[in-house]
Structure 1
Amino acid sequence: MTDHPQRPPRRNAWMLWTGAGVVLALVAVLIIVAMTGAGSAGAASSGGDDYLRAGLNKPTADLLALDPMTDEGTVKAPTVDLTDENGAPLTLAQFRGKVAIVTVNDDRCTDECALFAQDIQAADKDLTAAERADIAFVSINANPYYPTPADELAWSTQHGLSSLSNWHYGTGTPAQLSKTWNAWGEPVELDAKTRTVQHGTDIFVVGPNGDEVDLAQFGDGSADTAPFGHGLAQLAVDALPSSERGHVAGSDLPAPLPGGTGVGDTPPAVTLPKLTGAGTVSTSSDRGKYTVLNFWASSCSACTTEMPDFEREYSELGGKVAFLGVDVSDATDAARTFAAKYGVSYPLVSDTKGATAGRFRVTGLPYTVILSPTGKVLIRHPGAFTHDELDFVLDDLDTSLPPTTS
């Protein structure tokens, strides 16, 4: 395979600032597959009915910003000649006969690339063992300031990818990396002063014969972990020969339901008694602001790491975003002690019997739902949010928010 200078221009090229102290801008939408509504509103729409060829419904295709290359003719994937996170040679040629999912990622990213790492894990989980052996997730380092295999291994381990047998993170000298970015047509801009990078977020699906089959993006809806991962797995399996395709677990995004609590739905306001003091708190009073609705409990171990990050984000935003913590099926004294321990200053309410959590179809804690200023569900995120991830999402939803620290 050789580099090709006449590479088709990339459509909807996403760019991303990452690194310490810089968290800028893409929409992130987070949900769990069985609880969702429509795909993210900002995602690019797939062309015609090509999403049907890819085995996806339209909301899922839109979530991935699917751009099938059916109108591009035959496009050979460029070469990759790098070193992987274990110090071994990494070339695209070694995946001939397999499907390669190729992306450019920053090995110092703590937000968008970190969220995409969760998608890869979800995609890998949705594959059968046989499919897993025939599909490789190949990443190219976007950060020449941290170019060693040890840097790639540390990031991969931190984000749960080093345990995947089909994960490969390539790096090299700055010159090698630049050559590779250019060959793939991925824009990368460098800021030597802050040692941060800005890079494209295309997802290239390369078939067994080395041709590019599909182009997607981990921009908009990339953080919709379960459905995005399912869609990624489906794209990869669809690129295999028909005789090698097996069952892909997971589900597509369903269409919105009137009055539901999925993405795109506008559920009734949450109104619950205060955890401390008399009276109730209702999300209806927060209309006009984005609202972070966080379900937690004192018995939840992951909540112990998440709650301080939420408090930090809340204090940094100075009330410009509404926060409401919902304590689920917890002993009141234990919940109050827990909240006091972490110095939570945003409103907390008690969902004593878990009825509200049930209405929002929360299956595990912590769980976060973000509502628009009109009360529409924009984001559903199972599991813990870090400060950087939450800040990234909120900053992209509301560009008028003040800058915060990372």
Structure 2
Amino acid sequence: MTAPTPTPTRRARAAVLMWTGAAVVLALIIAIALVAIAGKNSTSAASSDDYLRAGLNKPTADLLSLDPMTGEGTVTAPAINLTNENGTPLTLNRFRGKVAIVTVNDDQCTDQCALFAQDIQAADKDLTAAERAHIVFVAINANPYYPSVSDTLAWSKQHGLAALPNWYYGTGSPAQLSATWKAWGEPVELDPKTRTVEHGTDIFIVGPTGNEVDLATFGDESADTGPFGHGLAQIAVDALPAAQRGKVAGANLPAPLTDGTDVGATPAPFSLASLTGSGKVSTASDRGTYTVINFWASSCSACTTEMPDFQREYGQLDGKVAFLGIDVSDPTDAGRSFATKYHVTYPLVADPKGSIAGRFRITGLPYTVILSPQGEVLIRHPGTFTHDELAFVLQDLDTSLPDNDD
């Protein structure tokens, strides 16, 4: 698959951040972001003042690919005239006086949009009740093959967003959707044979007066749910009038420390006793390949649904990516029985006292960390990864990996 030719948006910013989403077709993202900001005070990256204005540190702003619209003049957000997932009219004007976080979203996606749904939930959780009353999340359906409100409602329920009172998922006829994508400058490409789509991944922050104030993007980095969600909440709160702003929960992505375990850090290799074999297993032997480290336990109910997906992806990649499962604070026999039950064939190790889990600051199980071939932390993802989500992230990191569509 190749990315479509970039087309200029209404703000002289070319962006082709495309991805595919379908219930049975895995996504392969190909992202090219070329930013050209006009104005004598513009620079190729946001200034430190911009980050302070948004209440973010630079690592978090970089995680969101934040592009503050300072110095670009007033840009009025295009209109939205669609139908919400509950069948009521959805217009952007109804949110005047509030901050709207606007994205284009595929209602058949099982990978990246599903990851971004987790970011939205994390962002909403970091808001105070007062802030939540003034901030809404608005999605525009990117899939004209599934344009009904039942499709957008089903997706919203499946990914935990239907329960949010400030979530709105607009859809309409194919002609209405096409006109809306065009107005927002978001590229969407259609494949009639597979009924799948590729679309832009911009995140538009629209202020209370209806003007765009910030632009961000979501990609595989949105799998870092905690800091990504916090950053999204923070830039939304920053767009509120000062009197409506409160303290956003969560934390910025810390600057990577030598031998740390945050995104961007390069942890020293570690060794643990094999859970299913003899001797020890060291992450040092996995240098040179991407490494998926999954923290789990036999007592973790979510792990029972995730581990078969990890085993499936491991088998499909045929050794092209290293996998390591870490059984945390578990009786050895229980961990072995669990691994046998789910027919796990990739290396598993025991962390009986949770020392490695503590070193990686694992906040709950399951939890996945992905390392680069050089051992750098690229992804920290709390909670479950589905097979499609994991495949999407790995294929985005390494485009030479096979696109398994089974």
Tell whether the 8 Å contact from 2:26 to 2:392 is kept in structure 1 after alignment: no
Give me the whole-angstrom Cα distance separating, in 1, the residues matched to 2:14 and 2:127.
28
Partner of 2:20: 17
Give me the whole-angstrom Cα distance separating, in 2, the residues matched to 1:86 and 1:362.
38
Identity of aligned residues (%): 73
- Aligned-partner residue type, residue 13 of structure 1: V
Shift of 1:47: 4.7
Higher relative contact order (CA 8 A, sep 6+): 1
Give me the whole-angstrom Cα distance separating, in 2, the residues matched to 1:317 and 1:299.
28
Give me the whole-angstrom Cα distance separating, in 2, the residues matched to 1:51 and 1:221.
19
Give me the whole-angstrom Cα distance separating, in 2, the residues matched to 1:6 and 1:159.
30
Tell whether the 8 Å contact from 2:98 to 2:208 is kept in structure 1 after alignment: yes
Q: Give 5+ residue unaligned stretches, structure 2.
A: 1-7, 32-43
Give me the whole-angstrom Cα distance separating, in 1, the residues matched to 2:100 and 2:357.
39
Tell whether the 8 Å contact from 2:63 to 2:228 is kept in structure 1 after alignment: yes
Partner of 2:117: 117
Partner of 1:253: 253
Answer yes or no: is 1:130 the counterpart of 2:130. yes
Cα deviation code 1:193-218 (max 9, x no counterpart):
01110101111111111111111111
Kindly tell me: are residues 289 and 6 of structure 1, through their superposed partners in 2, closer, same or farther at Cα, counting changes over 3 Å?
A: closer
Cα deviation code 1:260-317 (max 9, x no counterpart):
1111111121211111232111111111111111111111101100000000000000
Specify the SS of the correspondent of 1:14: strand
Partner of 1:7: 10
Shift of 1:134: 0.7
Cα deviation code 1:130-177 (max 9, x no counterpart):
111111111100000000111011000011100000000000000000
Tell whether the 8 Å contact from 1:26 to 1:393 is kept in structure 2 after alignment: no
Shift of 1:353: 1.5
Shift of 1:26: 5.4
Answer yes or no: is 1:388 the counterpart of 2:391. no
Give me the whole-angstrom Cα distance separating, in 1, the residues matched to 2:230 and 2:329.
31
Partner of 2:371: 371
Tell whether the 8 Å contact from 1:45 to 1:61 is kept in structure 2 after alignment: no
Give me the whole-angstrom Cα distance separating, in 2, the residues matched to 1:18 and 1:145.
12
Kindly tell me: are residues 13 and 48 of structure 1, through their superposed partners in 2, closer, same or farther at Cα, counting changes over 3 Å?
A: farther
- Aligned-partner residue type, residue 191 of structure 2: D
Specify the SS of the correspondent of 2:133: helix
TM value normalised by structure 2: 0.92
Give me the whole-angstrom Cα distance separating, in 2, the residues matched to 1:359 and 1:231.
24
Specify the SS of the correspondent of 2:368: strand
Answer yes or no: is 1:357 the counterpart of 2:342. no
Specify the SS of the correspondent of 2:339: helix
Shift of 1:220: 4.9
Partner of 1:182: 182
Give me the whole-angstrom Cα distance separating, in 2, the residues matched to 1:376 and 1:321.
15
Shift of 1:71: 2.4
Specify the SS of the correspondent of 1:49: helix
Partner of 1:229: 229
Shift of 1:370: 1.1
Kindly tell me: are residues 9 and 246 of structure 1, through their superposed partners in 2, closer, same or farther at Cα, counting changes over 3 Å?
A: same
Tell whether the 8 Å contact from 2:220 to 2:396 is kept in structure 1 after alignment: no
Kindly tell me: are residues 240 and 284 of structure 1, through their superposed partners in 2, closer, same or farther at Cα, counting changes over 3 Å?
A: same
Alignment of 1:2-401 (within 5 A): 7-19=10-22, 20-25=24-29, 45-47=45-47, 49-401=49-401
Give me the whole-angstrom Cα distance separating, in 2, the residues matched to 1:250 and 1:295.
22
Give me the whole-angstrom Cα distance separating, in 2, the residues matched to 1:277 and 1:238.
53
Partner of 1:32: none
Cα deviation code 1:327-367 (max 9, x no counterpart):
11111111111111111011111112211111111121111
Give me the whole-angstrom Cα distance separating, in 2, the residues matched to 1:70 and 1:352.
51
Give me the whole-angstrom Cα distance separating, in 1, the residues matched to 2:9 and 2:124.
33
Cα deviation code 1:212-248 (max 9, x no counterpart):
1111111252222111111111111111111111121
Higher alpha-carbon deviation: 347-356 or 138-147? 347-356
Shift of 1:11: 4.0
Q: Give 5+ residue unaligned stretches, structure 1.
A: 28-43
Shift of 1:22: 3.3
- Aligned-partner residue type, residue 236 of structure 2: A
| Runs of 4+ off more than 4 Å | none
Shift of 1:320: 0.7
Give me the whole-angstrom Cα distance separating, in 2, the residues matched to 1:8 and 1:220.
25
Q: Give the number of aligned pairs.
A: 386
- Aligned-partner residue type, residue 155 of structure 1: W
What's the Cα RMSD here? 1.6
Give me the whole-angstrom Cα distance separating, in 2, the residues matched to 1:396 and 1:219.
9
Give me the whole-angstrom Cα distance separating, in 1, the residues matched to 2:9 and 2:152.
31
Tell whether the 8 Å contact from 2:26 to 2:391 is kept in structure 1 after alignment: no
Partner of 2:37: none
Kindly tell me: are residues 386 and 161 of structure 1, through their superposed partners in 2, closer, same or farther at Cα, counting changes over 3 Å?
A: same
Give me the whole-angstrom Cα distance separating, in 2, the residues matched to 1:158 and 1:235.
27
